[in-house]
Structure 1
Amino acid sequence: MLTNTEKQFCILFFIIVLTELLTGQTESLQNVHYLAKPAIVISLIFLFIKTSQHLSKSIKGLTLAALAFSLLGDILLMFVNKSEHIFTLGLVAFLLAHIMYILIFLKHRNIKITPFGFIAVLLIYTSYLFNFLREGLGDMLIPVIVYMVVILTMSTAAYLRKGKVNIVSYGLVFLGALCFMASDSILALNKFYQTIPWSNISIMLTYAIAQYLIIIGILKLKGD
Structure 2
Amino acid sequence: MLSKKEKIFALIFSIIVIAELICVSFKSLTTYHYFTKPLILLSLILFFLKYCKHLDAKTKWLTLLALTFSLFGDVLLMFDTISVTFLASGLVAFLIAHIMYILIFLKHKNNSKNIFYFSVFLLIYATTLFYFLKDGVGDLLLPVVVYMLVILLMAITAFYREGSVPKNSFILVFLGALFFITSDSLLALNKFYSPLPFSNISIMFTYSIAQLFIVFGIKKQF
TM-score range, shorter chain: over 0.9
Query: 1: distance between equivalents of 2:36 and 2:99?
Result: 25
Structure 1 residue aligned with 2:182: 182
Query: 2: distance between equivalents of 1:14 and 1:74?
Result: 17
Equivalent runs, 1:55-134 vs 2, <5 Å:
55-134=55-134
Query: 1: distance between equivalents of 2:7 and 2:192?
Result: 38
Letter matched to residue 12 of structure 1: I
Letter matched to residue 158 of structure 1: A
Structure 2 residue aligned with 1:153: 153
Query: 2: distance between equivalents of 1:136 and 1:163?
Result: 40
Equivalent runs, 1:172-211 vs 2, <5 Å:
172-211=172-211
Equivalent runs, 1:158-169 vs 2, <5 Å:
158-169=158-169
Query: 2: distance between equivalents of 1:96 and 1:134?
Result: 23
Is 2:35 the counterpart of 1:39? no
Query: 2: distance between equivalents of 1:208 and 1:56?
Result: 25
Q: What is the aligned-residue identity percentage? A: 55
Query: 2: distance between equivalents of 1:130 and 1:2?
Result: 37
SS at match of 1:58: helix
Gaps of 5+ in 1: none
- CA deviations 1:118-156 (Å, max 9, x no partner) are 110001111110110011111111110000000000000
Query: 2: distance between equivalents of 1:209 and 1:53?
Result: 22
State the 1:93 CA deviation.
0.2
Query: 2: distance between equivalents of 1:189 and 1:138?
Result: 14
Query: 1: distance between equivalents of 2:11 and 2:204?
Result: 17
- CA deviations 1:76-116 (Å, max 9, x no partner) are 00111111110000000000000000000000011111211
Structure 2 residue aligned with 1:15: 15
User: Aligned residues, how many?
Assistant: 222
Query: 2: distance between equivalents of 1:138 and 1:4?
Result: 48
Query: 1: distance between equivalents of 2:220 and 2:158?
Result: 14
Letter matched to residue 152 of structure 2: L
Structure 2 residue aligned with 1:139: 139
Query: 2: distance between equivalents of 1:134 and 1:17?
Result: 31
SS at match of 2:25: coil
Query: 1: distance between equivalents of 2:48 and 2:192?
Result: 34
Which deviates the most, 19-28 or 67-76?
19-28
State the 1:71 CA deviation.
0.2
Query: 1: distance between equivalents of 2:216 and 2:127?
Result: 31
- CA deviations 1:150-177 (Å, max 9, x no partner) are 0000000000000000000000000000
Structure 2 residue aligned with 1:48: 48
Give RMSD over aligned pairs.
0.7
Query: 1: distance between equivalents of 2:119 and 2:177?
Result: 14
Runs of 4+ in 1 over 3 A off after TM superposition: none
Query: 2: distance between equivalents of 1:168 and 1:68?
Result: 25
